[in-house]
Amino acid sequence: MSLAIRAEGLGIQFFRNRRRHMRVRDILFKGVSTATVPKGQFWALRNVSFDVAHGEAVGLVGANGQGKSTLLKLIAGVLIPDEGKVSVNGGVAPLIELTGGFVPDLSARENVYLTGGLHGLTRNQIEARFDDVVDFAGVRDFLDTPFRHFSSGMKVRLGFSLITSLDEPIVLVDEVLAVGDRSFKVKCYDRMESMLGDGRTLFLVSHNESDLKRFCTRGLYIKGGELIHDGPIAEVIEHYTSDVDAEQVT
């Protein structure tokens, strides 16, 4: 069993606010120099280590704002860690936070060619897959519409259709199933099953228990930027839900 992803002591810091300096009002009323202002840095992820073998399907669980999408961005190489490292064996096709890094001002058609090209497909290869990508997404009537004018569901349809049509062995899917409508969800299920059948490695972020159990064998539970449980998916979901229930009681 060969390794697809290895994360070693991964950590990344963000600023809690955009304002790194005092506002004029603060300086006037508090008379503090900007040098004393705390920068509000925090660790969005820290000490995260795990190995994923090729062909594994891993579900990422955790409450909102705990670091799930950030972890996918580190795996995809969209963010660079401040600590530790992540090694990826093979190309990564990410669909994070509902868009696959599409350019808002380019048309749907241009985005398909651009993203396909960035993932190493030749023009001929993209042309050969183009109709399938567009028909699976059901956006044929809007091919020349700028991506920014797509509805959220249309963005996800095109993004999911395209990233799962690339040849990359590692696929990262963030919240897609929650946005698509019923008929698209059914198509997504088939596509995910066939991807896993092909031996691809899948990372799935979802707040839907049955989706996670359907596709993933293993789960990672992220809380406060830390990986607090890595184990069989049912066990990890159980840990997460009992944490949430306990917090609601108190």
Ligand X SMILES: Nc1ncnc2c1ncn2[C@@H]1O[C@H](COP(=O)(O)OP(=O)(O)OP(=O)(O)O)[C@@H](O)[C@H]1O
Determine if 59 is a binding residue for ligand X (CB under 6 A).
no
99 touches, from Mg ion, ligand X, none (C-beta below 5 to 8 Å by class): none
Instruction: Give the 3-state secondary structure of 119-148.
Output: CCCCHHHHHHHHHHHHHHHCCHHHCCCEHH
Which 13-42 positions form the footprint of ligand X (CB under 6 A)? 14-15
Question: If DSSP codes are grouped into helix, strand and coil, which group holds residue 228?
Answer: strand
Please state whether beta strands 3-15 and 41-53 pair in parallel, antiparallel, or not at all (unpaired).
antiparallel
17 touches, from Mg ion, ligand X, none (C-beta below 5 to 8 Å by class): none
Which 61-90 positions form the footprint of ligand X (CB under 6 A)? 62, 64-70
Q: Which is nearer to Mg ion, 69 or 99 (CB)?
A: 69
Which 130-169 positions form the footprint of ligand X (CB under 6 A)? none
Q: Which is nearer to Mg ion, 90 or 224 (CB)?
A: 224
Could you give the CA distance from residue 115 to residue 108 in angstroms, rounded to a whole number?
A: 11
Question: If DSSP codes are grouped into helix, strand and coil, which group holds residue 250?
Answer: coil
Do the Cβ atoms of 169 and 198 come closer than 8 Å? no
Q: Which is nearer to ligand X, 126 or 172 (CB)?
A: 172
Helix (H), strand (E) at residue 77: none
206 touches, from Mg ion, ligand X, none (C-beta below 5 to 8 Å by class): none
End-to-end CA distance of the chain: 44
Could you give the CA distance from residue 233 to residue 219 in angstroms, rounded to a whole number?
A: 4
- Binding residues for ligand X, how many (CB under 6 A)? 11
Q: How far is the CB of 12 from Mg ion (least distance, A)?
A: 14
66 touches, from Mg ion, ligand X, none (C-beta below 5 to 8 Å by class): ligand X
14 touches, from Mg ion, ligand X, none (C-beta below 5 to 8 Å by class): ligand X
Q: How far is the CB of 67 from ligand X (least distance, A)?
A: 4
Q: Which of 69, 115, 165, 206 binds Mg ion (CB under 5 A)?
A: 69
DSSP string, 186-207: HHHHHHHHHHHHTT-EEEEE-S
Do the Cβ atoms of 61 and 219 come closer than 8 Å? yes
Which chain residues interact with ligand X by CB under 6 A? 14-15, 44, 62, 64-70
Q: Which residues bind Mg ion (CB under 5 A)?
A: 69
